Structure 1
Amino acid sequence: MNGDLANLFTADTLAFLAAALGRTLWMTFIGCTIGFVIGMGLAILRRTRAPLLAPLRWAAALYVETFRRIPFLVILILVLFSVQAFAPDLSLLGIATIAVTLAATAYLTEIVGAGLDAVPRPQVESAEVLGLSAFDTLRHVVLPQAWSVILPPAAAFMVMFVKDTALASHLGVVELAFAGKILVNKGFSPLAGFGAVLVLYALISWPLGRIASSLESRLAASRHR
């Protein structure tokens, strides 16, 4: 065990773990950030009332309901075969990031939608009576109040997805979980190899979880002022 620990703190092993950690963070933050932006657009689209946008609303609803019900591992596999048919040179990390984006978009659309729906309807109607356009009502009335409902669960979802990216190892992406397996295959004991991975997951998740909890507390206090 002492030999494992000594080898674990060599420059090569630490660099290997740092690279795996970077891939985990890349998939999580890039996928969830893009997913949040697209999810915001889909949530707003689903709450429009223009008849011409009805087909787009139905398509958005179908997308959200479908991808929220498909296991993330299945999404990874579907994206792998779909993307490789059109972009065979795309890296496995890129394919996994696309899968994260697709899954995150579906869940974050619902989170954003719940925040938009939390704004009292009379306030929206009052803005319409005052002659504000739909865009101005969204910008000046709905979003300023909806952020306090949207951000805490969105941050918590991102923390959760840090751990779910471990499934990308099934595609061959060397993220943290796969890095632990590689270390064990190289001769490290499972306790040392996966213990290092456990520590790194904790170092990511704990501060992010604290930030999400702090954000929720502060925004909840601002809602009750």
Structure 2
Amino acid sequence: MIDRLIAEAPAFFTRDTAAFLGLALSRTLLMTVIGCGAGFVLGMALAVVRRSRAGWLAPARWLAAAYVELFRRIPFLVILILVLFSVQAFAPDLSLLGIAAIAVTLAATAYLSEIVRAGLESVPRAQVEGADVLGLSAAQSFWLVILPQSWRVILPPAAAFMVMFIKDTALASHLGVVELAFSGKILVNRGFSPVYGFGAVLILYFLLSWPLGRMAAWLETRLAVSRHR
């Protein structure tokens, strides 16, 4: 084993290998950032709709709740396959990376919607009633009273979810997306030792996830302190 690793080292530790792994890493990061970023915005919209008490929004509330419950219970791999066949029927030229990003967005929207909804509902009812007494509109009450106080509940679990979903994007390899996990398999198929191929993937996943995990932990500690104050 040691002799093989020594013999393969000059061929593995090259600029081409580094560029190949860097491109795969960028695809993993791009899927996560686009999917979770769009999912956060859409999830907030669903949370606001579900929190609304307006009678005319009742059908939208039902649809939002059904969407969240459905996509939180479907495995991400199944979502990927469903999106693949659905999107190719209408946009056959869309790249596999784009299809994977859509699937990530659909799944992230459902999970992040629940995180946002929990944060919005953590604001004491007295704060909302106070805003009504002051004559603030529903929109003003949301932007000036509810949302600023709910960030401290929303941000830590949302950041933790993003860290978790970085690893789930490895399932996009089933569509043929050459993301980080798939790149390790390709390197092994090229003849490199699994120690090199998947060892590099392991290190890159750690370098990608660890700073985000530390940020999530820092947010949780920081915002917990501000709550106690």
TM > 0.5: yes
Q: 1:70 aligns with which of 63, 68, 74?
A: 74
> How far 1:131 moved relative to its partner?
1.4
Does the alignment pair 1:170 with 2:174?
A: yes
Aligned counterparts of 2:8 and 2:136: Cα–Cα separation in 1: 66
Q: Which residue of the partner structure matches residue 39 of structure 1?
A: 43
Does the alignment pair 1:220 with 2:224?
A: yes
> How far 1:2 moved relative to its partner?
1.5
Alignment of 1:1-225 (within 5 A): 1-225=5-229
**What is the alpha-carbon root mean square deviation over aligned residues?**
0.7
Q: Read off the aligned partner of 1:58 and give its amino acid letter.
A: W
Q: Read off the aligned partner of 2:16 and give its amino acid letter.
A: D
Aligned counterparts of 2:99 and 2:86: Cα–Cα separation in 1: 10
Q: Per-residue CA shift, 1:60-107, capped at 9, x if unaligned?
A: 111000000000000000000000000000000000000000000000
Normalization by structure 1: what TM-score?
0.98
Aligned counterparts of 1:223 and 1:6: Cα–Cα separation in 2: 54
> How far 1:125 moved relative to its partner?
1.2
Aligned counterparts of 1:170 and 1:129: Cα–Cα separation in 2: 55
Q: Read off the aligned partner of 1:73 and give its amino acid letter.
A: L
Aligned counterparts of 2:133 and 2:114: Cα–Cα separation in 1: 28
Tell me the SS of whatever aligns to 2:52.
coil
Aligned counterparts of 1:106 and 1:45: Cα–Cα separation in 2: 13
Percent of residue pairs identical: 74
Aligned counterparts of 1:4 and 1:49: Cα–Cα separation in 2: 65
Structure 2: which 5+ runs fail to align? none
Tell me the SS of whatever aligns to 1:182.
helix
Aligned counterparts of 1:84 and 1:164: Cα–Cα separation in 2: 22
Tell me the SS of whatever aligns to 2:92.
coil
